[in-house]
């Protein structure tokens, strides 16, 4: 017998966004199954001292009970450590600044989670991401920015392949956060006033340097200015990123100091004074490991807008063919604090076309 209604597996984290996403799908008539993903068991809740994921799952169960839907728990911790956390450590060890949330979406939420959805016979997966999808008549699915400019999360979704986008739903992507909160109260969800989560996807808020030291030994070296004059000492280049102001301890005063570069060969941290110093800005970047949301690369040269960090104002640029499979992006105006390892995400208007990993930057 054919299904009367389409079935959706909703990623329910215990937060307000994913809870409202599930509630909206129930209201729209879908058969909804909640899916809680356990990816990390090391983080402790400061208030209770218990593993943070247990509290999040408890909240997800409360919401599922309110909506009268089942909640299935998936233990992806082994895969998350291998496919996300191990790569994070490798990136930092090479002096890069990787983004684990991007990998988590590709490998876990729209990788393993989608596979489990298909095993359950679901037609779609859904999440509480602030992003939108537009489908053509032939099923081709375009990834668009969320309507709330302060919450838009399309930046983190550029590596989700077209095959997964076709099977995805973002129920709150056309809403602002304030509206989502109001809906949570209208649905009388038990997490309606729960604060937003912060920090790394599934791990939470943490001291990044302390986290890195679990796997990457401290390797102290010199802090120098542009001329090579030694001004202080650092405890490891992995604990710094381009444009960083915090944790630069030098005796020389004056204007604030910022990280301008990392000399990996000599283990030196190069710093400059002043937030507008030319060494902090890049006129172009090289991008590798490219992913295209529509499944096919662009034709070069290609005008576009690029974001090199989450919530950064997009910068107009032109993409050109680079070395091998890499592309070069030349910015219309210099961009501040570009760091190798970050994602450069490419847009045309509201549509996310794809992106890649920054491998080099040029002043």
162, two tokens? 């077209």
30: left (phi over 0), alpha (psi -120 to 50) or beta: beta
Q: 101: how many CB neighbours lie within 10 A of its CB?
A: 21
Helix (H) or strand (E) holding 269: strand 268-273
Structure tokens at 227: 């001329």
Rg from Cα positions in the chain: 22
- Residue 313 in tokens: 């104002």
Neighbours of 73 (CB within 10 A): 13
Coil, strand or helix at 27: helix
**d(Cα 359, Cα 289) in Å, to the nearest integer?**
9
Q: Is the dihedral of CA 224, 228, 231, 233 positive or negative?
A: positive
Number of other CB atoms surrounding residue 312 within 10 Å: 16
CB distance 177 to 150 below 8 Å: yes
Q: Report whether 336 contacts 281 (CB < 8 A).
A: yes
DSSP 194-211: PPPP-SBTTTBS--HHHH
Give the DSSP letter of residue 250: B
Active site residues: 104, 201
Q: Which residue is associated with the tokens 């001292």?
A: 49
Q: CA nearest 102: which of 314, 282, 325, 307?
A: 307
CA–CA distances in Å: residue 231 to residues 3, 190, 223, 225: 69, 53, 6, 7
């Amino acid at each position: 017998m054919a299904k009367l209604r389409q079935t959706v597996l909703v990623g329910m984290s215990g937060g307000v966004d994913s809870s409202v996403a599930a509630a909206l799908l129930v209201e729209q008539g879908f058969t909804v199954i909640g899916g809680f993903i356990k990816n990390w068991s090391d983080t402790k809740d400061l208030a209770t001292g218990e593993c943070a994921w247990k509290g999040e799952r408890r909240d997800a169960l409360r919401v599922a009970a309110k909506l009268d839907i089942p909640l299935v728990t998936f233990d992806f911790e082994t895969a998350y450590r291998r496919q996300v956390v191990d790569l994070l450590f490798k990136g930092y060890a090479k002096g890069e600044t990787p983004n684990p949330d991007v990998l988590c979406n590709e490998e876990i939420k729209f990788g393993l989670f989608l596979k489990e959805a298909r095993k359950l016979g679901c037609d779609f997966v859904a999440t509480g991401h602030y992003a939108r999808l537009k489908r053509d008549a032939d099923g081709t699915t375009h990834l668009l920015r969320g309507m709330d400019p302060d919450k838009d999360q399309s930046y983190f979704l550029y590596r989700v392949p077209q095959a997964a986008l076709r099977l995805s739903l973002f129920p709150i992507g056309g809403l602002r956060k304030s509206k989502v909160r109001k809906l949570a109260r209208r649905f009388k969800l038990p997490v309606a006033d729960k604060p937003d989560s912060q920090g790394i996807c599934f791990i939470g808020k943490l001291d990044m340097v302390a986290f890195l030291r679990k796997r990457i030994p401290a390797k102290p070296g010199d802090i120098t200015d542009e001329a090579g004059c030694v001004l202080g000492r650092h405890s490891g280049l992995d604990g710094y990123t381009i444009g960083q102001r915090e944790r630069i301890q030098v005796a020389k005063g004056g204007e604030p100091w910022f990280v301008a570069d990392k000399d990996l060969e000599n283990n030196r941290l190069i710093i400059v004074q002043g937030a507008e110093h030319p060494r902090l800005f890049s006129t172009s970047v090289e991008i590798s490991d490219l992913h295209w949301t529509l499944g096919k690369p662009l034709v070069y040269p290609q005008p576009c807008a690029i974001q090199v960090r989450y919530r950064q104002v997009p910068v107009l640029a032109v993409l050109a063919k680079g070395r091998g499979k890499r592309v070069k992006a030349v910015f219309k105006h210099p961009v501040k604090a570009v760091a190798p390892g970050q994602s450069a995400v490419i847009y045309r208007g509201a549509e996310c076309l794809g992106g890649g990993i920054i491998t080099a930057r040029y002043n």
